[in-house]
Chains A and B, each alone.
Chain A
Amino acid sequence: MELSDANLQTLTEYLKKTLDPDPAIRRPAEKFLESVEGSQNYPLLLLTLLEKSQENVIKVCASVTFKNYIKRNWRIVGILVEDEPNKICESDRIAIKANIVPLMLSSPEQIQKQLSDAISIIGREDFPQKWPDLLTEMVNRFQSGDFHVINGVLRTAHSLFKRYRHEFKSNELWTEIKLVLDAFALPLTNLFKATIELCSTHANDASALKVLFSSLILIAKLFYSLNFQDLPEFFEDNMETWMTNFHSLLTLDNKLLQTDDEEEAGLLELLKSQICDNAALYAQKYDEEFQPYLPRFVTAIWNLLVTTGQEVKYDLLVSNAIQFLASVCERPHYKHLFEDQNTLTSICEKVIVPNMEFRAADEEAFEDNSEEYIRRDLEGSDIDTRRRAACDLVRGLCKFFEGPVTGIFSGYVNSMLQEYAKNPSVNWKHKDAAIYLVTSLASKAQTQKHGITQANELVNLTEFFVNHIQPDLKSASVNEFPVLKADGIKYIMIFRNQVPKEQLLVSIPLLINHLQAESIVVHTYAAHALERLFTMRGTNNTTLITAAEMAPFVEVLLTNLFKALTLPGSSENEYIMKAIMRSFSLLQESIIPYIPSVITQLTQKLLAVSKNPSKPHFNHYMFESICLSIRITCKANPDAVGSFEEALFMVFTEILQNDVQEFIPYVFQVMSLLLEMHKNEIPSSYMALFPHLLQPVLWERTGNIPPLVRLLQAYLERGANTIASAAADKIPGLLGVFQKLIASKANDHQGFYLLNSIIEHMPPESVDQYRKQIFILLFQRLQNSKTTKFIKSFLVFINLYCIKYGALALQEIFDSIQPKMFGMVLEKIIIPEIQKVSGQVEKKICAVGITKILTECPPMMDTEYTKLWIPLLQALIGLFELPEDDTIPDEEHFIDIEDTPGYQTAFSQLAFAGKKEHDPVGQMVNNPRIHLAQSLHKLSTACPGRVPSMLSTSLNAEALQYLQGYLQAASVTLL
């Protein structure tokens, strides 16, 4: 493409079309642009347009298109990827780098941002080696005096340097930083000083101040990035300048910079907040050098806190500032800064208490945005909130001043409770603050060490519970003072390990009652608290609260839980669903009478949410609950499985037909569970489904694989004979699944699960014709990409095969593929790798299999394989006696990450659909060591003298000793 007016005109037309709301116009235009972006001059045309176009909308559009183009194409992936050639020719690259900085700086802000992003993308690849003059070019602009330009440079620098904050130290990185420091640190410092000067000369000019303060924010951010990896020599030498100015900026106030907005932080807040971060960085990492400045910052930040208002716009500043104090007060050598009783009182009174108050904004969130409120309050995503910061400061101070702090707060708690008592309906927020204060003081003890049930003399947790928490929960109306109810319920939750069991038992009916509260927060907390209480462990690993203790409440609990799901806003409330699951698990057979109603409600719910699954946790617990219902009921009455199938199959069919991807893995798991409940031959309804399970499309989704394999295993376990007789034509399809799975490093173990089930359950004659092919496939995989995981599974398989078909059959099949193959497998795989096999059952299979090879395979005794007899026996003894070899070769460490596509597709395993561990050797062999001894004995009677002579000539002494132990334990001697 030439740089011609005609081309500019064409491009303008297409850019305009990409803004069209009609996809029929927009899409082709986008396609066109994509098709020409490989042409020379294309980026230069865009740059020309964004500079010179008459229409502003085209300028902006060109700048966005340009940035995206750079993002997609600047990086040269490398010669290895042939189908992704370098789309930007060298001359364009040079021209872009030569022009972009001045262009960015002369552009209006909207375009400047796009170009600045583009520069940082280019910089990430080219800076510093391939863009050596970028820094000088930027630094020169500092002299311009035009703060519009300067801010452009600073913003670009920020996007180039901010990666220093998270990257690992490396020679390459530090070389770059050093280069940047050499060119940038001094000009930045001079700019910082000059900007501050200008701030005082323009102290009365609001618009000038705004620009200057934007610069200061960016400068402060750059300071943070440049000082992050280590303390640079330059900044150590110039600490006085920076810190003195930072300090005075912290204390600065200017009415012109105050904003009316209550929510959005203004420039002043943003700057001070960044300065707090900078000070915190120095305090944490460069304490030795920063010590002289630190006390000043403590005072300034403390004063800042005392004078800052309650508005939301100050939240980030306040929490940053408090976190700074919290991190400093824990350090032994700064203890003295806080020691004074007046200081402590003042911090408690003016910093901590005000920031623990329940604010209007909190109240709003409680009512209107309860999901967010719960997430913050319950799940600890409150890291940036004021309350949380205040709470951390309390804990920090308690490290050295537990006594005095406790004393100060105990007075506060009492007076706040008294205020509340005077007029609860007006003063309920005082009680909220009191509870929060007690919680933050006491939870310190919870974290310290188990066994401590009380924080300190201030808080007798049980007493506070009985006197101040229970009364609220006992009140007649569950809807009165919802915030206090939520506080009370949360108190139970937090201190469940500290409050005595009898008090918890008293609380349970109260919590069940609060499941009916209208407030979403309150009934959610009630469900969550119940769920937590039900998981608590008592002595000897049973639940603390027993099913018997819950007996009187079963009906009301189940009724209220399901009713809570009908309350507005809670139709897919994961806490409630989790509480349902937990209740089932705790109550076990006492839920059986209610199952008919329960399963109806659950299937209705399932049908409803399957239209548009949006709450993964809710859905997960719902399926868990279904599994529990099935298990509990069928355990007492196996015939009940039919009624579940009746209730569920209709919904399941719909889910499968509509291809509800999120639910399909769950459906397979529930079906596996149901199928395994059948004691007799497999029902025909399942057999009808069998061919569909082998459809390749189902196996394309990673998340389907484990549950589908599990389901096929259930089919094989229950219906191998039916498959062999009635669906023999499906066996190749089954093996096709195995073949597909075995080819993947990520799924090969699943392929082996399937193969093992086939070997174990299918009548031998039905798979006879395929056996050799199976082995060939395994060998091909072994040759192409051998991994530890594959070897482990392979070893288990061949030993299972040996158990099932006999050692001779194993030897014959190997040697039929290629002469002497059996010996090679023994020597190269079994003997050196057997130690890697993990898992009780797996080890047992291998032990029994190897024993068979040693004792029931004539070629081992009278062919060239005989030389492997002793090494194999030694490996077997090693398997018994040595620790498992869990080394993974270096090159394999990353396989799982590469082969596992994103975690979203990960399989969601249902705990309560869990398969019992299956031991195919089972009763046949109880103790594999004894079994070895007995088998050796049998062998030695068949050929007297040979076994002892082999042992005595070449078995390693230690192994021999172990072996003698087995023989003794089995009371046999070798002949």
Chain B
Amino acid sequence: SERMRKFKNKGKDAAALRRQRVEVNIELRKAKKDEQILKRRSISFRLMDESLSLGEERRNEIIQLSLEEIVEAVNGSNTELQLQATQATRRMLSRQKDPPINQIIELGIIPRLVEFLTHADNAPLQFEAAWALTNIASGTSDHTKVVVEGGAIPAFISLLSSPHMHISEQSVWALGNIAGDGPLYRDALINCNVIPPLLALVSPVTPVNNLHFLDVGFLRNITWTLSNLCRNKNPYPPLDAVKKMLPVLICLMEHEDKDIISDSCWAVSYLTDGSNDRIQIVVDTGILPRLVQLMASPELIIMTPALRAIGNVVTGTDEQTQAAIDAGVLAVLPCLLRHAKPTIQKEAAWTLSNIAAGPCQQIQQLITCGLLPPLVELLDKGDFKAQKEAVWAVANFTTGGTVEQVVELVQSGVLKPLLNLLLAKDSKTILVILDTISNLFLAAEKLGETERLCLLVEELDGLEKIEALQTHDNNMVYRAALNIIEKYFSGE
């Protein structure tokens, strides 16, 4: 059947048709607003902190310290002053606007703050230092670097097991920021064995169904930090680390808090954004049905990462794609293709395009589950980003589908919106459409219906658009257009 499959795809195999998430590493656009946040600064007081530290602050009133005084106090040996200075630092770093991260770093006190983390006898100092360092680590890569090079990684990891819950929580947060910086620090954390104590905070002391006894905010932080430990490619996180985190993430996905669900979905979406063996690890956990269920969630913050995860899974092998189909993805997609938000439309269409890249049995399921009408609608009226993906879906469909399936596609009205998109201002999209048209003609030839298809294309104003493309500035576009005209529309 290997040869059969090659035959179906006319020389391109399914893996080449499936398009991974990233084709271009350079972004011109603003960072996407619906991406998960990489690093966070701790700004507002949480209730628990207030009750803990308010008393002290009252006692000390609010002492304004100059930067010089801070340096002196931090480097001095008076623990009272150390606390005051650290607190003042933390407060500056926690203000809403323009925290003076650079100035604080320039004071050269970071190694000292890291050292405070180890003062197990002085919990308030540990806490303030942890908080201040969290906020420094939330800055740019250079900022994070200073914290890491100050030796914060082992210090924070050991604080995960602090008897004081708020210190442990603050450390989780700081570690999340460090992990979020990129693969280098993420792996540094993993190598320092961050995972066991982190997971210990969730399981086994607090079994899953008891999770809500733990403060929800704390659990959110843990989930977020775990997701950062799963994040980033080049390289991917080590496999054994992934295998350790996955079971916990899957439990977290059952939680009732939507932020926790969201972040655990993000984590899984990162884990699936890679090679097929990484996808397989996720598929093997049996989580796909839950992910598909979450894809249909009314909450955008849940739907988005769940859809991404499933979208990634169907970039995998035919079997992995089949697992997603068996989990019911095709039943959910129509709704998402019609979603009001353009990015959801786009992701859904991308997912569909990769399912359409599969063998004809999967294409048949796609037809049976009624995906063609929403696909045609999207092609006709969707946002441009989504239309582009829909074009790919149609292209893959016509490459891998049987003649009968292609006929069904044409009968569902795909031709008109497809031909309209020849006016798109995107060379690649135009080229993909022209390739698709060639595929349609190949199918028509097999049926002896070439003439009818010519007529249809002409009636739908496609011919004049293809003709106009013969003067397109892009060489490949112009050639593809010329080729179609010469083959099917010249002479008798």
- Encode contact with A along B431-460: 1 for CB under 8 Å, 0 otherwise: 100000000000000000000000000011
Contact A170 B472 (CB under 8 A): no
CB distance from B313 to the nearest CB of A (A): 25
Contact B383 A288 (CB under 8 A): yes
Q: In the complex, which residue of chain B has the Cβ closest to the Cβ of A380?
A: B464
- Encode contact with B along A869-913: 1 for CB under 8 Å, 0 otherwise: 000000000000001111111100100010000010010110100
Contact B29 A232 (CB under 8 A): yes
Of A174-182, A341-349, A637-645, the one touching chain B: A174-182
Q: How far is the CA of A308 from the CA of B146 in the complex (A)?
A: 64
Contact B425 A285 (CB under 8 A): yes
Tell yes or no: A228 within 8 A of B by CB. yes
Of B4-12, B44-52, B226-234, the one touching chain A: B4-12
Contact A230 B28 (CB under 8 A): yes
Q: Which residues of A contact B24 (CB under 8 A)?
A: 169-171, 174
Contact A177 B28 (CB under 8 A): yes
Q: Which residues of A contact B459 (CB under 8 A)?
A: 446-447
Can you list 11 A-B pairs with a CB-CB distance of less than 8 A? Answer: A168-B427, A168-B428, A171-B26, A174-B26, A233-B30, A285-B426, A330-B381, A447-B459, A885-B6, A886-B7, A903-B482
Tell yes or no: A611 within 8 A of B by CB. no
Q: How far is the CA of A171 from the CA of B24 in the complex (A)?
A: 5
8 Å CB contact of B472 from A166, A231, A332: A166
Residues 364-423 (chain B) with a chain A CB within 8 angstroms? 381, 383-384, 416
CB distance from B2 to the nearest CB of A (A): 11
Residues 454-489 (chain B) with a chain A CB within 8 angstroms? 459-461, 463-464, 467-468, 472-474, 476-477, 479, 482, 486
Q: Which residues of A contact B (CB under 8 A)?
A: 163, 165-171, 174-175, 177-178, 181, 228-233, 236-237, 281, 284-288, 330-332, 380-381, 383, 446-447, 620, 624, 883-890, 893, 897, 903, 906, 908-909, 911
Q: How far is the CA of A620 from the CA of B492 in the complex (A)?
A: 10
Contact B491 A168 (CB under 8 A): no
Contact A284 B461 (CB under 8 A): no
Total of A-B residue pairs, C-beta within 8 Å = 102
Q: How far is the CA of A860 from the CA of B268 in the complex (A)?
A: 61
Q: Which residues of A contact B98 (CB under 8 A)?
A: none
Contact A231 B482 (CB under 8 A): no
Q: Which residues of A contact B468 (CB under 8 A)?
A: 383
8 Å CB contact of B474 from A167, A181, A620: A167
Contact A169 B428 (CB under 8 A): yes
Contact B3 A174 (CB under 8 A): no
Q: How far is the CA of A175 from the CA of B27 in the complex (A)?
A: 9
CB distance from B337 to the nearest CB of A (A): 14
CB distance from B438 to the nearest CB of A (A): 13
Q: How far is the CA of A359 from the CA of B477 in the complex (A)?
A: 36
Contact A887 B11 (CB under 8 A): yes
Additional A-B contacts beyond A168-B431, A620-B491, A884-B7 (15; CB < 8 A): A166-B474, A166-B477, A174-B24, A181-B28, A231-B29, A232-B29, A233-B29, A233-B30, A285-B425, A380-B461, A380-B464, A885-B7, A903-B486, A909-B491, A911-B492
Contact B29 A230 (CB under 8 A): yes
CB distance from B88 to the nearest CB of A (A): 35
8 Å CB contact of B479 from A165, A281, A885, A897: A897
Tell yes or no: B274 within 8 A of A by CB. no
Contact A447 B28 (CB under 8 A): no
Tell yes or no: B342 within 8 A of A by CB. yes
Contact A887 B6 (CB under 8 A): yes
8 Å CB contact of A178 from B28, B342, B463: B28
Contact B474 A168 (CB under 8 A): yes
Tell yes or no: B424 within 8 A of A by CB. yes
Q: Which residues of B contact A232 (CB under 8 A)?
A: 28-29
8 Å CB contact of B491 from A231, A236, A903, A911: A911
Q: Which residues of B contact A383 (CB under 8 A)?
A: 464, 468
| A287 in contact with B383 given A383-B468, A890-B11, A903-B486 (CB within 8 Å) | yes
Q: How far is the CA of A237 from the CA of B28 in the complex (A)?
A: 12
Contact A287 B384 (CB under 8 A): yes
Q: Which residues of A contact B103 (CB under 8 A)?
A: none
Q: Which residues of B contact A884 (CB under 8 A)?
A: 7
Contact B28 A229 (CB under 8 A): yes
| A447 in contact with B342 given A165-B473, A166-B474, A887-B6 (CB within 8 Å) | no
Q: In the complex, which residue of chain B has the Cβ closest to the Cβ of A231?
A: B29
Tell yes or no: B60 within 8 A of A by CB. no
Q: How far is the CA of A883 from the CA of B3 in the complex (A)?
A: 10
Q: Which residues of B contact A170 (CB under 8 A)?
A: 24
CB distance from A467 to the nearest CB of B (A): 26
Q: How far is the CA of A814 from the CA of B173 in the complex (A)?
A: 78
Q: Which residues of A contact B472 (CB under 8 A)?
A: 166
CB distance from B461 to the nearest CB of A (A): 7
Most buried by B among A169, A175, A330, A331: A169
8 Å CB contact of A236 from B23, B29, B431, B467: B29
CB distance from A622 to the nearest CB of B (A): 13
Contact A447 B460 (CB under 8 A): yes
Q: How far is the CA of A236 from the CA of B27 in the complex (A)?
A: 13
